[in-house]
Structure formats: C-alpha cells, structure tokens
C-alpha cells in the first residue's frame, strides 16, 4: 500500500460511480465531495512527569443536510486529516443507507492511548472536548467511541461539555456508560449487526451458518463481539487477529477463552496459547480459505497488492474502509460477495441513534427493545440494498451507495441552496 494513498479518494470514486448510475449531473452532488466544516486543534497536556506535550486533534463534519453530524472519535497514531475526512464521509452515507436522521462527522487525535496513564488520557480528552465544544452538541454533532476510545472516554467528554454548558447534557455523545445516559445494547450493537448481516447474506446464498468457517481480522470492540456472536450462532471461527498478529486453528478456536484473555486492557493475542493453534500474520489471515472473512481492523487492509490472494467466498466489512477501490474491482471479478462497511458495521450508529433518542426524551428502553429495533433497521436496510443491487446488476457496495447518495442529494434538493 502506497504511503501516499488517500482514503478520501476511495470516497470520491464511489460517489462518482453511484451518481453516474443515478443519472446525476456534477452540480447535483458536487457538495458531497467537500466536508462542510473541518476543525484542527492543538492540545497541550501536562504529563505525569511534569512536562507538557502537544497533541494534534481533528473534528470533521462532512454533511448535515439530513440531521446533526454523527461519528466516532479515534485515538490512534495513524490519524490524519484525510483519514478523518474519509471516515466522516462514510458516516454520512452509513446514516443515510440505514435511514436514520443524522449526517456524517468524525474526530481523531494522533496518540497511542495505551502509552498514557489514566490521568494523562483524561486530561487529553477534556482538553480536546473543550477545543471542539463550539461545534458539537446534541443538535449539532454527536461523537461516539471509535478505535482507541472507550465508554469511559465518552463519559469524560459528556462531563466536560456539560460543565461548559452549565447543566448536564447527556445527548452530546453516545456510547456512554449506562449509568449516565447510555443505552443498553449499545456496546455490542456493531458486532451484533455484523452477525445479523452475515446471517442474511448467507441465507440469500443458501449457506447455513452452522459449521461454516469464518475469519475475523481485528479483536477490538467490533471484531471481538462479532466473533462472540458468530461463535454463538454455531459458525466455526478458525482465525482471529490483533495488532500483534493472528492465531489459526482449522478445527475452530475457543472464542470464549480468547475473549476472556483479551478483555484485560492492553493484553494481546501474542500471549495467548491454545492447543492446536498456529500463529500467522494479519495478511496471512486475510488469504485463508474460509467461507466468510470479516475485516474488522483498520482501513485499506484489502488492496491492489493482496486482492488476488483473497480466497473467502463472502466478505462482511466490520471496519470502515477496509477495502480499496482497486481491490473492489479485483474481488468483483473473482465473484466474491462483499457486504460493504456503510451497511455491515452500521449497527453501532443505529444503536447510537436509539441512545440519542432516549437521552433527548429522558425515556429508556430495555435491552430486548433495543435489540429488536436494531434487527428491524438492519433487515430493512439489507433488503433494500440487496434488491437494488439485483435490479441494477451491481455490487452490494454500489447498491448501498445508490440508496445513500440519492437520499442525501434529495434532502439537499428539498432544502434548497441558500445564496
């Protein structure tokens, strides 16, 4: 993968493809190629040793014609402005394709959170919140957890924003602890959604979940919860991985034991042992001969360099942007069925919408209610995407963007152009 690769280019190519099929002129959708607002902030933090370190942070609001911006905050050393732009745009289309009244936003700080003490992490989070406070809020932009951030970090953001406002504002973030306005079922919603999409696409293909092999790249929230639910549905999870590498057992891994092992903050798979397992790299995991592959790590994992090596029959994207545009073409030629990220990992933002609704009306639902509503939204969105892809003879990714782009463009047309 080229060091000059720009993930936002992926977004532009996909928008152009969908717009051409929809018959749009450039003027109809050109606004989607430019974020509405970008904020870059410098964050001085006093470290435990008494020194002051400056961190760089971002918040991007891609589009808000359908509602407040919505999107996570990423704490990772690889965060860049172009990455945050791409993630914000993907959120616009993710919210649109599942038809929730949000636009797209995203934030990030260039940091390895595991190198900070809890006090340093809290100081960084509160400083970042104060810096972006003018452009966020329950009616403006609602952050959530992403790679490297947690429900505890969301609680610090909510508290800091509330102190600045002079009263408690639970609806400013989602993914919070339940005790302070979070929603039951939110923590597992993205992984649960991945499982539901796998169930539906396998059903369309006439494949039973029982005993079907699956590999999961990434053991963060999305990957670990996906593996948990897929194991619970009787699938044979033969490989999982994290930043330290992967483990593989063709007879199936002991997922409950693995989840217990990695549940300790900072514990990696490199220290896990299980009879019959083999160690392998993340790239080797991607090329395993499995029925289902779930890339649930970072962007651009499947690209022009390794697309030909992919042997899975079905890919369900648990991560945002794990497949490049060039790799998409290769996978399509190979006949691999791919459920795209803006659909496959939308369970989290759907449940975040539920959390926001509950916060705004001060009325909370049971976990059963949340999971039932989540399944309804997911099924409706999947069927719409599958049907239009069949009708137009296009991939599921293109089908998802046909729906998503059309909804945003139509909303913009109805609102008009203030000049």
For every residue of 253-281, which 3-state class applies, written as one string? Answer: CCHHHHHHHHCCCCCCHHHCCCCCCEEEC
The conformation of residue 323, written as its DSSP 8-state character, comes to B
Asked about 236 being catalytic, the answer comes back as no
409 by DSSP, 3-state: which?
helix
Q: What is the longest distance spanned by two Cα atoms in the chain? A: 67
Joined tokens for residue 165: 């406002």
294, 61 in Cβ contact below 8 A? no
* Cα separation, 370 vs 376, whole angstroms: 10
Query: Whole-angstrom Cα distance, residue 245 to residue 255?
Result: 16
Angle, helix 81-97 to helix 396-415, in steps of 10 degrees: 90
* Active-site entry in 106, 236, 313, 406: 106
Tell me the pairing of strands 278-280 and 52-63.
unpaired
List of residues 6+ apart from 196 with CB closer than 8 A: 347, 375, 378, 379
Hunting for tokens 């306005």 — which residue is that? Answer: 181
| Burial category of 347 from C-beta neighbours within 10 Å (exposed 0-12, middle 13-18, buried 19 and up) | buried
Alpha-carbon span 177 to 352, nearest angstrom: 12
Question: Measured between alpha carbons, how far apart are the two ends of the chain, in Å?
Answer: 42
Say how far apart CA 397 and CA 376 lie, in whole Å.
Answer: 20
Angle in degrees, 0-180, between the axes of helices 325-334 and 7-22, rounded to the nearest 10: 60
CB neighbours of 52 closer than 8 A, spacing ≥ 6?
44, 45, 46
Name the residues annotated as catalytic: 106
């Amino acid at each position: 993968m080229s060091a000059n690769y720009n993930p936002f280019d992926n977004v532009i190519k996909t928008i152009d493809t969908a717009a051409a099929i929809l018959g749009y002129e450039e003027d109809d959708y050109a606004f989607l190629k430019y974020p509405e607002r970008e904020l870059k902030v410098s964050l001085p933090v006093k470290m435990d040793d008494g020194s002051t370190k400056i961190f760089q942070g971002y918040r991007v609001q891609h589009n808000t014609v359908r509602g407040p911006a919505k999107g996570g905050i990423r704490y990772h050393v690889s965060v860049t402005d172009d990455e945050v732009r791409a993630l914000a745009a993907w959120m616009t289309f993710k919210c649109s394709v599942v038809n929730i009244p949000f636009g797209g936003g995203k934030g990030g700080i260039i940091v390895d959170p595991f190198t900070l003490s809890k006090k340093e992490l809290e100081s960084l989070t509160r400083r970042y919140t104060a810096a972006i406070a003018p452009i966020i809020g329950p009616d403006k932009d609602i952050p959530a957890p992403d790679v490297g951030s947690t429900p505890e970090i969301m609680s610090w953001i909510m508290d800091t924003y509330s102190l600045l406002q002079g009263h408690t504002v639970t609806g400013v973030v989602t993914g919070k602890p339940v005790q302070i306005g979070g929603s039951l079922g939110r923590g597992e919603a993205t992984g649960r959604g991945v499982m539901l999409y796998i169930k539906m696409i396998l059903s369309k293909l006439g494949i039973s979940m029982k005993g079907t092999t699956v590999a999961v790249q990434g053991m963060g929230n999305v990957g670990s919860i996906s593996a948990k639910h897929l194991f619970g549905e009787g699938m044979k999870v033969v490989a999982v991985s994290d930043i330290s590498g992967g483990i593989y057992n063709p007879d199936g891994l002991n997922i409950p034991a693995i989840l217990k092992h990695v549940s300790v903050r900072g514990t990696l798979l490199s220290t896990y042992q299980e009879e019959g397992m083999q160690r392998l790299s993340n790239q080797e995991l991607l090329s395993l001969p499995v029925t289902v592959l779930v890339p649930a790590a970072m962007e651009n994992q499947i690209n022009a360099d390794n697309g030909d090596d992919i042997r899975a029959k079905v890919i369900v994207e648990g991560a945002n942007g794990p497949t490049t545009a060039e790799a998409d073409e290769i996978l399509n030629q190979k006949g691999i069925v791919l459920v795209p990220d803006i659909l496959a990992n939308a369970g989290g933002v759907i449940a975040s919408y539920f959390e926001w609704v509950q916060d705004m009306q001060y009325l909370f639902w049971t976990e059963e209610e949340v999971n039932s509503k989540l399944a309804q939204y997911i099924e409706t969105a999947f069927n719409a995407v599958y049907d239009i892809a069949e009708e137009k003879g296009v991939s599921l990714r293109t089908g998802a963007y046909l729906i998503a782009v059309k909804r945003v463009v139509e909303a913009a047309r109805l609102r008009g152009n203030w000049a």
